[in-house]
Amino acid sequence: MPQYFDLAKKQCLSCPYPELYNPVVKQCVRCPPSKPYFNNHSCQACLSTEIFNNTSYQCQNCTGGQVKNPLTNSCQCKNSLYYYNGVNCIPCFFPNYFDYNFLVCRLCVGNQIYDITFQKCVDCPLPTPHFNGTGCGSCPNNTLWNNTARVCQGCPGGQILINGTCNCTAGTYWNGTNCITCFVPKYFNHTQQACVFCINHMIYDPVSSSCVPCPSSVPFFNGTQCTTCNSTQHFNTTSRICESCPVNMIYHISTSNCVCPYGTFWNNTVCVPCHIPQYWDYNTLKCLYCPTGQVYDLISKVCTPCPSVTPLFQNHTCVSCPTNQYFDQTSHTCLPCPIGLTYNSALGKCV
């Protein structure tokens, strides 16, 4: 090994490997990059297929199918899609990337794709957020991108994808878990998220999207549909239910009240007939007496003057005059015939 004379120590010394003495600068120096290998005598260049190992200070051949890159003086795989794993050159085709930390070819996870420029895994950009195994693309048909879970998902609970949004089909409603069908007379209440009945005996109107009363022609909602009350009942507009009148009473449409049948009156318990000579007045709904001098005619159903055969009005009824008396039209009383005369009923006068 070449030596040099150290003036300070006054002796010949050898430079530490792999250096040699430079008489110009008078110190030990490394071999130049053009001839990096020191063979204990002089600096030499590595062979054209060799690289210089700065750790072992030796020229060495590339291994595992690698070749020399003269620009970087390093070994690299021939194909840019192959990577050296410490033993061999292995292929790593897109969308895989080579992990230099673990010297393996791997795929990005979480629907990400490898960005060659930034050399890291990144999210697929919108509007193609889904990594389909070969590249970024849209979600498959009938699926929707979930940006939180970063996956394409089908619509839940029987919903279908309409214009990019999960919706229930027409006639069904989302209750927070599933699409449900509301059958008439129920309707879907969006606040309660359930199928419910209208309250107060009303029915749901899909046009106005509200509960409305049944029409007057069929005012009663029987739990299924609007209908009329049966013949023995009437509709109560306040309670909106069909009601029956008390025993023996009938419904009076004009007054909207339960009343006793014609010719009877309510005695606080049941309907009873009017006591003769009273008659039933349908206007006042009471048993009344005819005006003085009149009695009720059951045939014509009006109050009429007493007939000629019973002309005297007495105690609300018509009676005949006593024997040998006549009815005086002026005083409306029975008077005795003058002395010597008798009453002739056929002629209606004293003779």
The DSSP-derived string for 196-232 is EPPSTT-EEETTTTEEEPPPTTS-EE-SSSEEPPPTT
* Contact status, residue 59 vs residue 47, Cβ threshold 8 Å: yes
pLDDT given for residue 295 in this prediction? 87
E-assigned strand segments in 191-348: 194-196, 203-205, 210-212, 220-221, 226-227, 233-236, 241-244, 250-252, 257-259, 264-266, 271-273, 279-281, 286-288, 294-297, 302-305, 312-314, 317-319, 325-328, 333-336, 343-344
The pLDDT, as a whole number, for residue 345 is: 77
Q: Identify the top-confidence range among 53-62, 226-235, 287-296, 330-339.
A: 53-62
pTM: 0.42
Q: Compute the distance between CA of residue 257 and CA of residue 234 in angstroms, rounded to an integer.
A: 9
User: Which region holds residue 128: left if phi is over 0, alpha if psi is between -120 and 50, else beta?
Assistant: beta
Q: What is the pLDDT of residue 61?
A: 94
First vs last Cα of the chain: how many Å apart?
195
Please say if the pLDDT value at position 172 is more than 80: yes
Note the pLDDT of residue 232.
78
Quote the CA–CA distance of 173 and 171 in Å, as a whole number: 7
Give the mean pLDDT of 307-335.
86
Domain span including residue 128: 109-154
What's the pLDDT tens digit per position in 135-149? Answer: 899 988 888 888 888
Cα 285 to the chain's mean position, in Å?
Answer: 56
Residues 275 and 249 placed together within one structural domain of the fold: yes
pLDDT for the residue 351: 83
pLDDT-based confidence at 328, cuts 50/70/90? confident
Mean pLDDT, residues 192-213 = 92
Q: Strand, coil or helix: what is 263?
A: coil
- Report yes or no on 328 lying in a domain: yes
Query: Of the candidates 253, 288, 323, which is a domain's last residue?
Result: 288
**Which stretch of 108-112, 183-187, 210-214, 279-283 has the lowest confidence by average pLDDT?**
279-283
Asked whether the predicted pLDDT for residue 67 surpasses 90, the reply is yes
Q: Dump pLDDT digits (tens) for 280-290.
A: 787 777 788 88
Residue 93 CA: distances (Å) to CA of 10, 75, 97, 112, 311: 64, 20, 7, 16, 131
3-class DSSP state of 179: strand
Q: Does residue 223 lie within any of the structural domains?
A: no
Q: Is residue 175 part of a domain?
A: no
Three-class SS of residue 121?
A: strand
**Mean pLDDT score, 311-318:** 85
Residue 189 lies in a domain: no
pLDDT at 142: 83
The pLDDT of residue 215 is above 90: yes
Phi, psi angle pair for 242, to nearest 5°:
-85, 130
pLDDT tens for 238-276 read 888 999 988 888 888 777 788 888 767 777 788 888 888
User: What's the CA gap between 4 and 22, in Å, rounded?
Assistant: 9
Task: Give the model's pLDDT for residue 196.
Answer: 94
Flag whether 232 is in a domain. no
Exposed (0-12), middle (13-18) or buried (19+): which is 168, by Cβ within 10 Å? buried
Question: How many folded domains does the chain comprise?
Answer: 3
Query: How deeply is 92 buried, as exposed, middle or buried, from its count of CB atoms within 10 A (0-12, 13-18, 19+)?
Result: buried
* Residue 21 lies inside a defined structural domain of this protein: no
Any domain includes 295: no
For the chain, the average pLDDT equals: 88
- Cα(301)–Cα(298) distance, rounded to whole angstroms? 5
Percent of the chain topping pLDDT 70: 100
Q: Domain boundary residue among 154, 183, 214?
A: 154
pLDDT at 66: 93
Does residue 31 lie within any of the structural domains?
Answer: no
